[in-house]
Amino acid sequence: MRVLLWISILTIALFANTSKETISLQLSWLHQFQFAGFYVAKEKGFYEEANLDVTLKEYASNIHPTQEVLEGRSTYGVVNGSSLLLDRNAQKPVVALMALFQSDPSVLVSTNPAIKSPKDLKYKYLLMSDEDFRSVGILAMFLSHGIKREELFLKNHSLNLETLINQQVDAMACYISNEPFILKEKNISYTVLSPRDHGFNFYGDVLFTSEKELLLHPKRAKAFYDATKKGWEWAFEHIDETAQLIYENYNTQKKSLEALTYEGKTLKELAFDEEGLFGTLKPSKFEEIGNIYRVGGIMKNGLSLKGFIDPLFFAKTEVRIGVLNSRDESNSLSKSWDENAQYLSSLFPLHHFVVIPLDFKTLEERVKNHTIEFVITNPLQGLQLEHRYGLGRIATLSSPYKGNYYSELGTVIFTRADAKQIQSYEDARSKKIGAVSEHSFGGYLLGIKELGIASNKNITFFQTHFNVIKAVLNGSVDVGIVRTDIIEQMVHEGFIKQSDLKVLGAKTHPNFPFISSTDLYPGWMLAKMPNTPETLSNELLSTLLKPPSASSSSKPLYRVNTTLDYSKIHHILKEFHLFPYEQEAITFEDVYAKYKFLLLGLGIAFILSLLFSLYIQLLNRKLQHYSHEVQRFNETLEQEVNERTHELSLLNAKLKDLANIDELTKIANRRYFFLLATQYFHAAKRNNTPLHILSIDIDWLKKVNDTYGHAMGDEVLKAFCKHVQSSLRQSDLFGRIGGEEFCVCIQNTPLQGAKILAEKIRHKVEASRESINNQALPAITVSIGLSSLHPEDEEIFDTLKRSDEALYKAKHHGRNQVQIV
């Protein structure tokens, strides 16, 4: 009895492991190469490998695939993409999974020699149904030629091809892969009117299912998707073999093998996207279909594609970004980063980005086990993970605040506003202190450095910045250490009031809006895992560095800068002897256990070397005489080398000056000025900061040269440059663009400041009275044109063009003045 029981259990287990999930697929037409990928997946065992038992249902009259799927008689279906969009717009819960044809094979064919264009079909007889007319490509082709439905005479599509051959109708709706082959075989001339030839390229057949199927059976849907895609790719790689398979097993239409092969080769040209990929679906293409339907009066209400196109991202490779969480709510970080993930996913057609909030421990575990592709974390943990696991730093994070972005951070040391006994760092050192974690840079390390604390005895770690602030407010600790911007976040989101807290050692920093108790350091880093493809990380960095387009449906919450200099972080790690700069005691036992065979070998080598050294000493006595001569030769050679090296260094320095500096005035030449000004331009565009160009021309310099000679003119130029340079800041650029033409590039200064500087230069030059060799230099004046960076400027020369226009205006109005354009 017990044996029978075990046999029964094993039988049930075996059956459970081998039973397949039964599903069905409703086709939109009769069996032919149009559905080749499904036949291949079934006959080649791709569905069986996915543990699926798939029934392929051939089309029959009065059957609509969408209705079959939604009413549960079929699990999946195939239908034209434009028809599926209309169903979705009618609130039917259908979901598009895969485009079988990027271009619709539907065309119009005519055997009437007079028919050359869609406009020739006006008031003509067409063998097509109203549904064929509503096919988006056909509809768009007619609309583009001003032809309405009532201007066409449609006949029942049940009539056969002979009706077209006998010219009983003027054109017929058909598939480019079917009827043209028959006409060729019959040697009948025909004309194809294809929407593609008129600029309308829309989806043909699309694989779809119901929202219910994806909700209840997501793994089954993914398995069916992958096996089906594999079948289609195999079918188009082996067209002859696939045609033979259909001919032998699915040829209900009794097509010839040649017809099936022709169909396969024709459909292959329509199946792949512009990048050579199969099955891709793009929202923009469906939006174009919706626009055509609205123009044609078929779609009345607005179009929403949310949840319609591959909602489980079967076609995309998941890219996981692990982000260090600064809050105590497990899902709060995901919500705040959702815009970035959606933004990236919309720009990467083959990748779906997800943000995973992690604490310090789980973030390192994910990196160690290679279960994420990118990491965003604080600079302390980031540098340590770089050394431990080979992360590749690619950018520094820029956090948003009131419309601007900031790439630096510091630390805030704070207490409750009513803590009167704590007024300084000295008061705080003996109190109970709350910090984030020993791995936190802004929430721990910078704070104890600023406080001068050498021990963690009075420090409690709360794992997140939000928890530290809560602990201070509820009295669990007296003093808190958090990163800059955390307090502002909690105030903005209504968790606390600014008046609840008091910051110790508060400092202000130029162009930095947050309260800080310390100096500023490079902010959080974005890094790639060693196994993350270089092409993906380069494309990600390039995408994040670009400002989002105005038409983009989603915007990134965070931005990045090219990676900042993290040497200040390394200095702090060294100061605190933290990994990778920690000092560990090494015992002789440790060394011997690890290197005993090496030490034995070294001992033997030492004895042999001792014997050998005695022999060498005998030889040295003979060589001693020659060594003095060699030494004298070396000293002479070294002196010559040093002299030549000094000459080369002087020559290199001179060459560098010649390449970058104007020889007469000793300021930047045209090439070097525009090289640096272009960098200033892009930095100002990226950071949304002001930038101005001054175009300066010395008035009547030619008269000076003609009257006093070019030598005196050169002295005037040098004196002019000295006066201008004395008026500029170190960060301003000054360069000679032409003979008497000069430019100044000013950054991080409002327009009023630029105007003041321009007038200062004009007055100083006008008032200058210089002399050389007891001979007074001629008095000169300057005309100045001023222009500021505009949002639409694409390069520095756009701004320069306007400043040149302003300069011309100044010269035209009498010179010795400043004009602004």
Q: Which two tokens stand for residue 255?
A: 């097509």
Q: Which two tokens stand for residue 436?
A: 């984030």
Q: Which two tokens stand for residue 159?
A: 């009539």
555: helix, strand or coil: coil
- Burial code (b: 16+ CB inside 10 Å, e: under 16) for 804-814 equals bebbbebbeee
Q: Which residues contact 601 (CB under 8 A, 6 or more apart)?
A: none
Residue with tokens 């709510």, as numbered in its chain? 329
CA distance 141 to 202: 12
CA distance 432 to 413: 13
- Angle, nearest 10°, between helix axes 36-43 and 218-237? 100
From the number of C-beta atoms within 10 Å of its C-beta (0-12, 13-18, 19+), residue 782 rates as: buried
Is 185 one of the catalytic residues?
Answer: no
The amino acid occupying position 425 is Y
Closest by CA to 375, choosing from 350, 398, 358, is 358
CA distance 244 to 258: 10
Q: Which two tokens stand for residue 311?
A: 């909602």
Q: Give me the DSSP letters along 20-46.
A: -EEEEEE-SSSSSGGGHHHHHHHHTTH
CA distance 366 to 373: 9
Q: Which two tokens stand for residue 606?
A: 């030492």
CA distance 784 to 740: 12
From the number of C-beta atoms within 10 Å of its C-beta (0-12, 13-18, 19+), residue 658 rates as: exposed
Residue with tokens 């000092």, as numbered in its chain? 583
Q: Which residues contact 334 (CB under 8 A, 6 or more apart)?
A: 355, 356, 357
CB-based contact 736:746 (threshold 8 Å) = no
- Angle, nearest 10°, between helix axes 710-727 and 751-767? 140
The torsion angles phi and psi of 59, rounded to 5 degrees, stand at -65, 145
Number of separate helices (H) and strands (E) present in the chain? 29, 33
Peptide bond between residue 400 and the one before it cis (omega within 30 degrees of 0): no
The amino acid occupying position 54 is V
**CA 130 vs CA 136, 142, 152, 173, 292: distances in Å:** 12, 13, 11, 11, 16
Per DSSP, helices labelled H in 661-750 are 670-687, 701-708, 710-727
Q: Which residues contact 22 (CB under 8 A, 6 or more apart)?
A: 53, 55
Largest alpha-carbon pair distance within the chain? 128
The torsion angles phi and psi of 753, rounded to 5 degrees, stand at -65, -40
CB-based contact 414:501 (threshold 8 Å) = yes
The torsion angles phi and psi of 492, rounded to 5 degrees, stand at -60, -35
CA distance 696 to 786: 9
The amino acid occupying position 577 is H
Cα R_g (the chain), whole angstroms: 39
Q: Which of 740, 741, 766, 805 is catalytic?
A: 740
CA distance 339 to 342: 5
570: helix, strand or coil: helix
Q: Which two tokens stand for residue 276?
A: 């050579």
What amino acid positions are annotated as catalytic residues?
Answer: 740
